[in-house]
Structure 1
């Protein structure tokens, strides 16, 4: 772990610390909401260890507390976490070694770990940022959920404290540097429009998945920038082919010919 910490630069470590702070606030609120809503204290703790997905945990607990069944809660969590599938493809190169290490690394895959990994310039830095962020978040999230669960209903209305806004605000700050690219900006804007338009009509989680349609915009932009046509090879004339050159001023020289054997 020390070698990984030495690999990650100070700016990234600072940003990871800020994300951990935001996650701690959200984790405390999750534990408090779950217990104050009537769930046993072990439920949010077990979910945090086994599921480790804040959005899915909030959605599942909210569904159960509102009278929904366990199967509906599990299905909702699966739909929300389906967004992590494309993330897994993009950061697959950071997971190596035996199967158990790759399985552990997959458990640490979140929006934040994928974001920090993708911001790094090379594979070694991506691997270090992924594991440092993943381990730190896992520890902070579970510790804060335990504290929130123990606090129970003492926190009261967490929405009134604005804790629900901390998490998306941090994620927005992470993706802002990537929006300097025009194609990325167009894809993000298209995905946001699709998600917002679908929110009133679809269950929670599905609009986020539909936002991936913004990638179609990026794909079309890439297809639109066609490479220049290659210069056709000169056709031999009378057993000879032209041989071109470049004059010192940058213009073409007069063509000369050489025998074609």
Structure 2
């Protein structure tokens, strides 16, 4: 008679999968905490700036709840402050957020469910989370993506609310040296990517060369934008491994 109890058996495949998802989600939270701290500081600045431009209290907070993009929100606020009008401000913000189109396309293959669910999961695609969730070869860890965004969004909204209520002077962030916090976290993410990917190192080197060449002819911002063309290397270095993996998993059929 077999007296082996179910408790003595090892974890099932489902339990292992659940454990792996939890680990990925927690790993995302750990990355997201640092990004959230930097985002919080930036959000305070946005809240204070919007309040100083006459937005009132509620509109900046609602904007952060819905848009959740520092670059787009600052573009929106700056355009309105410059007298560009609402249509111009919306177009400026939309153009900046256009980067999420290729980012969403890249991660789409790793999302799950029907159209509505995939659209909801896609809301987790923000810059820092997208980079942190990248596994290489054009693949992404969706649970790490969710975990990293889960802490950033409330921090962004809370920072905006604090900035609106307290309204610190715009120079405070630069005075305390906090304006380098957000770029510093992105630099750490980049360094982590460079350590694990030869293609990333090649793209980074090429981007640096392009920026160094363009900076003599165009403003620094445009030079950096042009340098991003080096990321097109991912079209070759990312899609091919995915196709190769699918062939192997399918037994070559």
Question: Under a length normalisation based on structure 1, what TM-score does the superposition of the two structures give?
Answer: 0.70
> Shift of residue 89 of structure 1?
1.9
> Shift of residue 35 of structure 1?
0.6
Alpha-carbon distance between aligned partners in 1 of 2:53 and 2:89, rounded to the nearest angstrom: 15
Match of 2:112 among 69, 85, 96: 96
Which aligned segments of 4 or more residues in structure 1 are displaced greater than 6 angstroms?
A: 2-5, 120-123, 218-222
* Unaligned segments of structure 2, at least 5 residues: 1-17, 239-253
Shift in CA distance, 26/41, structure 1 to aligned 2, threshold 3 Å: same
The question of whether the paired residues in 1 share the 8 Å contact of 2:61 and 2:161 is answered with: yes
2:195 aligned with 1:188, yes or no?
no
The question of whether the paired residues in 2 share the 8 Å contact of 1:36 and 1:153 is answered with: no
2:227 aligned with 1:211, yes or no?
yes
Please, what is the CA RMSD of the aligned residues? 3.3
Alpha-carbon distance between aligned partners in 1 of 2:236 and 2:115, rounded to the nearest angstrom: 37
Alignment of 1:86-165 (within 5 A): 86-119=102-135, 126-153=141-168, 157-165=172-180
Larger mean Cα displacement after TM superposition, 55-64 or 182-191: 182-191
Q: What is the number of residues matched between the two proteins?
A: 219
Shift in CA distance, 13/52, structure 1 to aligned 2, threshold 3 Å: closer
Match of 2:184 among 169, 181, 193: 169
* Unaligned segments of structure 1, at least 5 residues: 223-261
Specify which structure has the bigger relative contact order, considering alpha-carbon pairs within 8 angstroms and separated by 6 or more residues.
2
Select the structure of larger CA radius of gyration.
Answer: 1
Shift in CA distance, 65/176, structure 1 to aligned 2, threshold 3 Å: same
> Shift of residue 48 of structure 1?
0.9
Question: Under a length normalisation based on structure 2, what TM-score does the superposition of the two structures give?
Answer: 0.72
Alpha-carbon distance between aligned partners in 1 of 2:236 and 2:92, rounded to the nearest angstrom: 32
Shift in CA distance, 105/209, structure 1 to aligned 2, threshold 3 Å: farther
Alpha-carbon distance between aligned partners in 2 of 1:104 and 1:28, rounded to the nearest angstrom: 27
